[in-house]
Structure formats: structure tokens, C-alpha cells
Structure 1
Amino acid sequence: MPAKSSTIVTALTTAAVVVVGVLGYQAAASAPDTLTQTRKDPRHSAPKSPPERSGKKDKAPAAAPVPPSSGKGRRIVYALDAKRVWLVGADGKAVRTYPVTPSTVSPPLGAYAVASRSVSVTGSDGIAIEHVVRFASVEGVTVGFSAAVDGSMPDPGSAKRTGGIRESRADGKAMWDFALHGTKVVVVS
């Protein structure tokens, strides 16, 4: 190879190495260094800005008050007409309240106690349910609160006699955590 060709090849090779080096440097500078990068401690991160608000005041709707005829102390209150449940603390204030889908068989008004619980079973309607909290029996039908694993709610017009008062999965978990064996359940109109 003549000397002039060798010099051109060397110059081109050097230029190519420089270009590759610059591109590699730029790529490395913009990519996280996985060898030396440490996980950010959330206690030291910058505080997040509050979400932008419109001119209106964002106010959650007031929770339905605990029915006054439901007694005192720690209890579960089930209002048949309102189709609603309250988990009431020892101070008489609602810890949580939420709507439910009633069963086709309703318990008579009065006070009961949680009689049994099951983490997961198949409901009388054939649906997989969880967090089952039973408290009454009406003409051979066991009545209790439960949540369908698939999130479904029973058909209120069904002719089948069922005792499952359905709640959402999140509400079912809250009920499960609150309703230990023997917890008072008050059924009001």
C-alpha cells in the first residue's frame, strides 16, 4: 500500500474513532448509570405540587349519617331501605359507609352478631365470593355480607332465594377486617 493511501486510511480511522467516541459519550451522558446509580430516598425527594384546581371548591359529598335508631357502640349497621352499610366505631362514628346490593331474602329488623366467616366460597348463586361475614338465618337461608371475586352484583329481580348482601371487593375487605366473630350487626329499615 502506498504511503499516501496509508495516511488517508489512518486519518479516516482516527476520525471514525472520534465520531464513535463522541456518540458513545453523548449516549452515556443521557442514560442512567446502572452501576453507580443509587435509589432515591423518597424522604429527600422534592415535594409534589398540589393538583391544579378549577375555580370551584372540590368538596367530597357528605357521608350518610349513621341511623340514630341503630344503637350505640361498635357495630355494623345495615339499612334495608337505604341499601347501605355503616361500620361504626366504639365512639359511635362511622369508620366507613357504602352502598350494597341486597339479597333476595332480608333479615328481620333487630340486633344480631357475626356468627361465622369464610375467606372464600361459592355463593348460593354459583358465583365465587370472598370475605363472607354471616350473621342471620331466615327460613333456612343464611344471610351475610360478601363480595363477588369477579366484581359482579346479583340480579335483584331473581326469583332464587339468596342471603348474600353484595358489596364491592374493597368494601368487602373493609367489612372482613372490621367484623370479627361476635361483632354486633343491627338491621334497620
Structure 2
Amino acid sequence: MSEVQAKRVNKDRISALPDEVLYHILSFLKTEDVVMTIFLSRRWKNIWASVPSLDFCDQENPDTIPFPKFIDNVLFFRDSKDIHKFRLHSIRVEDFDRICGWLGAAIRRNVVELDLSVKYYGGDEDHQQIFKLPKSVFTCKTLRVLKLWSNFIINAPESGCFLNLKSLCVHF
């Protein structure tokens, strides 16, 4: 095979796809893997910042960067596009105010699907600290799907809750 033929065979066809197709493909990956695509080529350097699905799970995080700092960085460097799906499954984040901030960032970016599992034991495996859902979750106008996978304190407002919610899944 000649050098010209080899270049044709090895051509990067994925990078030639439209951004929307790349976003869709990347939306099936964990956010840690999506961010790593910056090393593929110049074309991919900023693609990760527009992927409409954010998937954070500290049980699978190798701790190369502290998990809360990683989420802070992703949300800070992300562009202003809407977030379709925000999944947060955490057993180690103890700063519940920080989690509220992350949820607020997703809500400000018109989140449609919210998938939460927040557990923290604070060194005592028998006594889980319970996360209080912020009121903004109940009043989010774009939220269509809410999945709760752990115990939460729910102080819902008296009116205006879940205006467009189509699916609620609660597991205790």
C-alpha cells in the first residue's frame, strides 16, 4: 500500500462529523471520558464544553483530581449551552451547599432530566447525612424527568411545583 493510500485509509472521519452528531455520541459517555477528548485533536478541544449530558459519579472516579473540584471545573469552563441531562451520583461529597450550587448551575441551563443519588456518611456507616433538595428543583420550569436514588429531605413549596414534570422515579 502506498503512503497516499494509507493516509486515505487512516483519515479521521469522526472529527469530520457535525458538532451536533459529536455531542450526541459523547452524551453516552461519563463526563470524565468526555473531557479527555480534548487530547484527540484541535477539532475536539472545545467539543466537550457543549455536550448536553453531564454524568458525574464519584464511585468510578480515580481521584486524579478531587471529585468536587472536577465538577466545579467542568461547570466553570462549560459554554452557555443548555444541559439536557445532569446525573450526579456521589457517596463522598460532604459539602451539600456545593451540591446545591451544581444543581443551580444545571437549572440555570434549563436542565430537562435530573438524576440524583447523594449519600454521605461522615465516617459513620450507620448514620447517613440526608441531603435537602433545594427549592429550585421543585420550581424548575424545564424539568421533565426527576430520578432520586437515596433519602432526601423534601420541603416543597406550597404551589408551583414541577410545572412540566412528566416522570418521577424515587428509590429509597
TM-score by length of 1: 0.20
> Which one has the bigger helix percentage?
2
TM-score by length of 2: 0.21
Query: Whose Rg is larger?
Result: 1
> Which one has the bigger strand percentage?
1
